[in-house]
Amino acid sequence: MNDELSDTEQQLIGQVRSMFYLMDEPATMLTIQSDGQTITARAAGQVALELRALPRGATICATLHAAPPHDPQIIAFTIFPA
């Protein structure tokens, strides 16, 4: 993964608290808890489909595209071993 992030991207490490998706839609909403904060982000396409395999409580490092800031989108993620 490229260590240089643009001004609209940020990385977040946290635990998966909840997930919502429709079976026939390639989109996923994920709630991540990090440092006492809860952040809800969405994902689309292949990233959304891969996120569905995560167990609740998994720790991930998510790269977020935060433009607009009220609607962050997960564009990549890495799973930390349990």
Q: What percent of the chain has pLDDT over 90?
A: 67
| 29: Cα within 13 Å, side-chain hemisphere | 7
What's the pLDDT at 2? 47
- Tens of pLDDT, residues 18-37: 999 988 888 999 999 999 99
pTM of the model: 0.83
Q: What backbone phi and psi angles, to 5 degrees, belong to 50? A: -70, -35
CA 76/CA 7 separation, integer angstroms: 16
Nearest-CA neighbor of 42 among 2, 1, 77? Answer: 77
Task: Let me know if 35 is exposed, middle or buried by CB neighbors in 10 A (0-12, 13-18, 19+).
Answer: exposed
Nearest-CA neighbor of 20 among 34, 36, 41? Answer: 41
Q: Do residues 10 and 66 make contact, with C-beta atoms less than 8 angstroms apart?
A: yes
Q: What percent of the chain has pLDDT over 70?
A: 94
Confidence of residue 1 (pLDDT cuts 50, 70, 90): very low
35 vs 56, higher pLDDT: 35
The highest-level CATH class for domain 9-80 is mainly beta
Mean pLDDT computed over every residue of the chain: 89
What's the pLDDT at 56? 79
